[in-house]
Amino acid sequence: MNTSFLLLTGRRSALRQAGPRYRSYASSSASSKPSPAAKNRWIGIALVTIAAGGTGAYLRSQGPGSATLNPDTFTKYNLVSREPVSSTSSLFTLRPRYPSEHNYDVYEDAWKTGVWSVMFKQPQLQIGRDYTPLPTTAATPLTVDEENNGYLRFFIRKDPFGEVSRYLHSLKLGADIEMRGPQIECAIPKQTQEILFIAGGTGIAPALQAGYSLLNRTTEENRPRIHIFWANRLKEDCIGGHSDTPILPTSRSSWFAGWFGSSKETVPRDQIAPAQPLSNQESSMIVRELDGLKSQYPGQVTVDYYLDEENRFIGKKEILNYIESTPRPSDGSPGTKLILVSGPEGFISYMVGPKVWADGKELQGPLRGIIKELDLKGWAVWKL
Ligand SMILES: Cc1cc2nc3c(=O)[nH]c(=O)nc-3n(C[C@H](O)[C@H](O)[C@H](O)COP(=O)(O)OP(=O)(O)OC[C@H]3O[C@@H](n4cnc5c(N)ncnc54)[C@H](O)[C@@H]3O)c2cc1C
């Protein structure tokens, strides 16, 4: 049994409590099959909470508004700016509509805990969707005053048929946006030393959060690390991105092809090509943020970029190559290594198997996908 089941504790069924809401923790073992006892515990953990107001939830009537972000009522923010990042995504900057000296502390608690989100309301349809605030890095253009005043930034993809993302992209500057939260998506355990974050598209936002949260714990004695695999369909999404690992010209099928069952074609290791910048053009906003994090924590952050457009996909070989490059976990320190996966549903399914719905709750579901096939030892896995 892998003790990763036990790693991720300390959550609260916070829909009923003040403070951040926590999603249920159903970390899956990346190694052997759980014993019946472990299985029971897994089910127990899995049945803890998950946000009842998750994606697509119909929003019941709310109490009076608050000036401070909170999980129970919607708080008004103003759209300060919306800058295109690529042809399909934008960076949104929002500031609280009414001043509150508490926002900073609310965010700070969430940043310290791990990966978190807020729910935006679409008022005409009375539906909500979750979005992930971006952390502040050395590359973030916010001023200290703006940060202290509770500004938040979001990287949001416009789904051409999506209700809320289209609505957000149609708003005029200065418009109100209502949100509630924070909702903790993944509490990063204190003992975590190594995160492998596998991100698809806007799944990079929680990767930046995980990096920020983990690396903020850096001291002279404690130097945790994060490695990010970031897959995009188009080059324009990650212009200027420069992979830290020499490129393995391996997995020739995309996650969506794999999802439908096609097999992978691999190329021998001796055909490894040197790392290449994706483009000479100016770096995209997210690439600058990733570079900002790297410059703040030299040697503790590495990023590899994968592009469908260039037939480069994250596959078993890439993951194994990274895993083998990390120190082996010592028996006495379970839970120091964490794999987080975030992105479109099909991407998550392909990597670690789908999340599942039961009794109106979204649960982690069993570990499947290529990570299960790799049968990694000593890594806890979490689907975002
Ligand atoms: C914790 C969390 C954090 C997130 N963070 C971010 C973030 O930072 N940035 C970001 O861009 N996204 C993020 N997302 C995703 C975001 O919440 C939304 O899911 C996304 O913006 C799409 O919402 P939408 O309302 O625009 O699309 P929806 O209206 O939900 O539609 C999504 C797609 O499903 C299709 N669809 C809808 N209904 C049907 C149907 N009945 N049959 C067939 N197809 C259908 C639509 O055509 C569309 O293509 C996050 C999600 C979660 C859970």
Region 310-329: mean pLDDT is 88
Cβ(162) – ligand 1 distance below 6 Å: yes
Q: Specify the residue for token string 């990767």.
A: 207
Cβ(165) – ligand 1 distance below 6 Å: yes
Cβ(146) – ligand 1 distance below 6 Å: no
Contact 170, 92 (CB under 8 A): no
- Residue 162 Cα, ligand 1 centroid: separation in angstroms? 6
Choose among 240, 242, 238, 243: nearest CA to 282. Answer: 240
Strand partners, 304: 229
Torsion angles phi and psi, residue 162, rounded to 5: -85, 135
CATH topology of domain 75-185: Elongation Factor Tu (Ef-tu); domain 3 (2.40.30)
Cβ(205) – ligand 1 distance below 6 Å: yes
- Residue 95 Cα, ligand 1 centroid: separation in angstroms? 23
Q: What is the pLDDT of residue 326?
A: 83
Query: CA 180 to CA 74: how far, in whole Å?
Result: 5
Q: Which two tokens stand for residue 196?
A: 């492998």
Extents of the domains making up the chain: 75-185, 189-383
Q: Which two tokens stand for residue 371?
A: 């990570």
Long-range contacts of 368-371 (CB under 8 A, 24+ apart): 370/258, 370/315, 370/316, 370/319, 371/30, 371/319, 371/339, 371/341
Over 90: is that where the pLDDT of 247 sits? no
Annotated binding residue 85: no
| Average model confidence (pLDDT) across the chain | 79
Q: Whose CA is nearest to atom 11 of ligand 1?
A: 156
Q: Which two tokens stand for residue 207?
A: 């990767």
- Residue 167 Cα, ligand 1 centroid: separation in angstroms? 12
Contact 104, 147 (CB under 8 A): yes
Q: Whose CA is nearest to atom 38 of ligand 1?
A: 162
Domain 189-383 in this protein, CATH class: alpha beta
pLDDT tens digits along 329-354: 554 466 799 999 999 999 999 999 99
Query: CA 166 to CA 164: how far, in whole Å?
Result: 5
Query: CA 79 to CA 57: how far, in whole Å?
Result: 23
Query: CA 15 to CA 54: how far, in whole Å?
Result: 11
**Number of the ligand 1 atom closest to the C-alpha atom of 54:** 53
Q: Whose CA is nearest to atom 52 of ligand 1?
A: 130
pLDDT tens digits along 24-52: 333 333 333 333 333 332 222 222 233 33
pLDDT tens digits along 214-234: 999 999 999 999 999 999 999
What is the ipTM metric for this complex? Answer: 0.96
Given this chain, do its domains 75-185 and 189-383 carry the same CATH topology? Answer: no
Q: What is the pLDDT of residue 252?
A: 55
